Amino acid sequence: MEIDLQACTTEQLWKFVSTHLEKKGFDVVLVGGAVVSIYSQGMYVSGDLDFIVRSLNKRELPEALKEIGFERTQQRYYRHPDCTQFYLEFPTGPIEIAGSYDVEPATQEVEKTVVKILSPTDCVLDRLEQYFVGEYGKPHGEKKLFEQAVLVARNQPTDLKRIEDFCRKERKSDAFREFLEKIK
């Protein structure tokens, strides 16, 4: 797969990197703000693409990324000299959404290779969870996270019952009502 790294979109870069890594035997899933960018058709832009590596061969990751021109700049960050608009990040897994580690990513086929991304519903739950709880359990209530959840739900089919159940469990039924109003 070839792309113009100087002018690529988040989605193009995700598919390019994921396809390469999957062919090299890595099981990777795109998570975080880049998922919001893809599902909102670019209405939200993230400067990084977060990949969770679910395979055991993580030590070979730097070499695999080097094959497509990405160099490690810090412990888990990678940049390409032609792709100044984005960088890659590989946070520690596993994937956990709304208290569950049983996350089934959405898949797409690219050049006979299956690439993985959080499902739209899991993306909404991830954004709402971060909005409710914040990083490391500290409440911060960054409204931008709530707005990202709304953008995804406006542009993608989501499981509203599952989202409502999560909000109720978190004692945030008022936030769910606001969410419903905003996605209409």
Task: State which fold the 10-117 domain adopts.
Answer: Beta Polymerase; domain 2 (3.30.460)
Higher per-residue pLDDT: 111 or 140: 111
Q: Is the dihedral of CA 69, 80, 37, 58 positive or negative?
A: positive
What's the rounded Cα separation, in Å, for the pair 70 and 76?
Answer: 12
Segment 92-109, tens digit of pLDDT: 889 999 889 999 999 999
Boundaries of every domain in the chain: 10-117, 120-183
* Coil, helix or strand at residue 160: helix
Segment 30-61, tens digit of pLDDT: 999 999 999 999 999 999 999 999 988 889 99
E strand or H helix at 28:
strand 28-31
Asked if 61 and 20 touch (Cβ cutoff 8 Å), the reply is no
pTM of the model: 0.93
Check pLDDT > 90 for residue 119: yes
